[in-house]
Structures are given as structure tokens and as C-alpha cells.
Amino acid sequence: MKLPKNVTIKEVAPRDGLQNEKRLVLSDDKISWINTLSETGLSYIEVSSFVNPKWIPQLADASDVLKGIKRNKGVTYAALVPNIKGLDRALEAGVDEVSVFMSASEGHNRSNINKSIKETYPVLEEVVKEAKMAGKTVRGYISTVIACPYDGYVAPFHVREVAERLFSMGIDELSLGETIGVGVPNQVENLLDELLPHFNASQLAMHFHDTRGTALANIVKSLEMGITTFDSALGGLGGCPYAKGASGNVATEDLLYMLHEMGIETGVDLKSTLKSAQLIERTLGRSLKSRQMEILRAEGKERIS
Ligand code: HMG
Ligand code: MG
């Protein structure tokens, strides 16, 4: 198996993880937790999102959180931005990188951002342009790259069409969201076969939700095909409130375990990651369901030091 020597992990739990949590987490608790994440060796943390707070009340405090965290120079602090109003808020709060997002399927795009795919392009185009003028790098997300909770399976060429539009706007990196976690490795292969002739593997990231336990298998397939950036969420937190039944992202600690055992370096320390996961576990008041966290519980190490 041909494998890369290094992989970049982009931690999305403070955004993708918390956006699906019903119980409001206090801003101070988010800040203390993100500060521990900043000390794990991660180089990228998606801190929050500047969406309409009526849609995602849990992240209504995005500005306070971004302004309240202790910045580590080696970390890029990013946030989701859906429109110019969100961009203005994100820039005012001092975001490092802006993430725009849309779906490859009409059903999810409409449900998630209240627009058709065609109506979304000019909105994102303006955000990318303004963000670039403000000197920020921009990440694009495409959701439902394999299947949509409303429209069913999504043909890879639909993903390519959206990807082409986003890259032509000037995004620096594209994250491919397997939003509902139904995908399996041969579907990932079909998707990347469609994309890799057109886009550089180093500009693509994979974002797998692990609803059916296939995320790690999909990551191994992606690694084999040359992808070296993966999104994950501590404790397997996460899900999209506008994709029923979608559970959390692949757990960062399970991904770290696998990559490190495969001899792939990430620069992220597993033990400090687990400590950080235990902190948010105590804040949320429920057990996180990653394999690594289950092992700690089985060993009676509910609070590692
Ligand atoms: P809308 O309600 O259609 O917007 O929302 P609107 O433009 O008609 O505005 C309605 C009101 O919202 C107005 O206020 C605006 O000012 C306000 P009013 O005049 O009624 O008082 N508003 C805002 N306020 C603050 N910040 C803003 C903002 N925008 C409008 N940015 C919109 C359109 C896109 C904003 C909305 O649909 C929205 O916020 N959607 C976000 C949904 C979301 O966050 N989903 C989860 C993230 S995506 C995801 O999880 C997938 C991913 O993980 C990858 C994967 O797994 O596939 C990335
Ligand atoms: Mg997601």
C-alpha cells in the first residue's frame, strides 16, 4: 500500500461537533476547551460558525468565542461563513480562515442554506472575493458528496461541477463532506476518480461522518488515492441539523490512533487529545462514543492527567 508520510488533521468539533448539541454550552466552557485543543499539536481548528443565529443557536456566540480564546501561533482558527453578513462578523472577530459551504444536491442545499444551488453561487462568490481582499485564505465545503438525505445518491459529476465553480471563485482548499455517513470505499474511489484528473490532491480534504462506521475505511481508501488532509471531531461529536440521522464526524482520537499505528505522522499528540475529549465530555455531561474513549472507560481512566 502506498501511503503518505504526513497527514494534516483539521479539527472541526467546536463547530460541527457542537452545532448538533441541543444543550447550550457556555462560551467560557467552549473557550477553555478550545484552549486545550490548541495545545495538542493540531494546526487547524474550526472554532465556530457565523451563520444566522436563529438557525444554529448553539453557535450564536461565535464572536465571543473567537475573541476569547488564547491564540497559539501555530494554529489556524477558522469559521464557517454563509454570506457577507457572516463574513463581516467573522472578520471583526479576527478569524484566520473563512469557510464557505454548499451542497452537491438541491435538497440538502435548500434545507441547509435556504437557496437553490444556482442562487448560492453569487452569494459565495462575493464572500470569497471579499475574504481574499481582507487577506484571508478561504476553504470551500461541498456537502452530500456521496448521498443526500432528501435526493438520494449523488452522481460524482455533480460534485465536480460545484467544485469547479468554487475553485474558479478562488478557494484555496476544498473539503468534501460525506454528510450523512452512508458512503463506502468504492464510492469514495468513484468520487475521487472523477475529481483527481481535474484538481490537485493537495487541495482536497475529506470530511467523513461516521454514522455507519465506514469513515476509517473511507479514509484509508482516500489515503491510497493521495489525499493527505482529513477533517475529524474530537469524541466523534457532530452532525448536520439539516440532515436527519447524520451522526458525528470520524473521531479525531480514533483517526490519530490508526494513522500513528500505520506510521503516518500528524504532529498531534494522542494523549493530550484524549484529555481534551474528557474535558468536553464532562462539560456535555454524557459519554463520548469514540473507540479510544471507550477504552479509557474500560480501563477506569475517566480522568487522565
Ligand atoms: P435566511 O434565513 O434564508 O437568510 O438564511 P436571510 O438572508 O433571508 O436573512 C434572514 C435573517 O437572518 C435576517 O435578519 C438576516 O439579517 C439574518 P432579520 O432582517 O430577519 O432580522 N442573517 C444573519 N444574521 C447573522 N449572521 C448571518 C446572517 N445571515 C442572515 N450570517 C442562511 C440564510 C444561509 C444565513 C441560513 O440558512 C443559515 O444560517 N444556514 C446555516 C445552516 C448551518 O449552519 N448548517 C450547518 C453547517 S453546514 C454543515 O454542517 C456541513 C459540513 O459540516 C460539511 C458536511 O458534513 O457535509 C460543513
Ligand atoms: Mg460535517
Q: pLDDT per residue over 187-234, tens digit each?
A: 999 999 999 999 999 999 999 999 999 999 999 999 999 999 999 999
Q: pLDDT band at 305, cuts 50/70/90? A: confident
**Per-residue pLDDT band at 246 (split at 50, 70, 90):** confident
Q: What percent of the chain has pLDDT over 70?
A: 100
Distance CA 61, CA 93 (A): 11
pLDDT for 163: 98
Q: pTM for this structure? A: 0.97
Q: Cβ(82) to ligand 1 under 6 A?
A: yes
Best residue for ligand 1 mutational test, from 51, 85, 99 (most atoms within 8 Å of Cβ)? 51
Tell me which ligand sits closest to the C-alpha of residue 144: 1
**Ligand closest to the CA atom of residue 240:** 1
The atom of ligand 1 lying closest to the CA of 59 is 44
- Confidence at 242, pLDDT banded by 50, 70, 90: confident
pLDDT above 80 for 245:
no
68-89 pLDDT tens trace: 999 999 999 999 999 999 999 9
The overall average pLDDT reported for the chain is: 96
* pLDDT of res. 243: 73
| Domain range annotation of the chain | 8-298
CATH of 8-298, picked from 3.50.50.60, 2.40.50.100, 3.20.20.70, 3.30.1490.190, is 3.20.20.70
pLDDT of residue 244 exceeding 80: no
Q: Are the C-beta atoms of 145 and 104 separated by less than 8 Å? A: yes
Helix (H) or strand (E) segment spanning residue 115: none
User: From ligand 1's centre to the CA of 50, what distance in Å?
Assistant: 8
pLDDT digits (tens, 9 = 90+) for 15-62: 999 998 989 999 999 999 999 999 999 999 999 999 999 999 999 999
Predicted local distance difference test score (pLDDT) of residue 22: 87
Query: How does pLDDT run across 160-184, given as a tens digit for each residue?
Result: 999 999 999 999 999 999 999 999 9
Mean pLDDT of 287-303: 94
CA of 299 from ligand 2 middle (Å) equals 31
Please give the backbone phi and psi of residue 11, each rounded to the nearest 5 degrees, phi first: -85, 120
pLDDT score of 304 more than 80: yes
Residue 12: its pLDDT value, please? 98
Q: Report pLDDT for 82.
A: 98
143 Cβ closer than 6 Å to some ligand 1 atom: yes
CA dihedral 145, 88, 77, 241 (to 10 degrees): -40
Interval between CA 295 and ligand 2 midpoint (Å): 25
To the query of whether residue 148 is one of the catalytic residues in this protein, the response is no
- The bound ligand whose nearest atom lies closest to the alpha carbon of 57 is 1
Closest C-alpha residue for ligand 1 atom 37? 113
Q: pLDDT-based confidence at 65, cuts 50/70/90?
A: very high
Tell me the pairing of strands 152-153 and 229-232.
Answer: unpaired
pLDDT tens digits, 102-147: 999 999 999 999 999 999 999 999 999 999 999 999 999 999 999 9
Q: Looking at this protein, which amino acid is placed at residue 77?
A: Y
pLDDT attached to residue 128: 99
> Each residue of 271-281: pLDDT tens digit?
999 999 999 99
Beta bridge partners of 143: 103
Ion ligand 2 residue ranges (Cβ < 5 Å): 16
* Per-residue pLDDT band at 2 (split at 50, 70, 90): confident
In testing the pocket of ligand 1, which one of 19, 50, 52, 117 has its CB within 8 Å of the most ligand atoms? Answer: 52
Q: What is the pLDDT of residue 138?
A: 98
Higher-confidence position of 53 and 302: 53
Quote the ligand 1 centre to 4 CA distance (angstroms). 37
Q: Is 276 in the pocket of ligand 1 (CB under 6 A)?
A: no
| Residue pair 259/247 in contact by the 8 Å Cβ criterion | no
Residue 124: count of CB within 10 angstroms of its CB: 22
The DSSP-derived string for 52-73 is: -TTT-GGGTTHHHHHHHSPPPT
Active-site pick, 145, 171, 206, 240: 240
Give residues with Cβ within 8 angstroms of 5, minimum separation 6. 264, 265
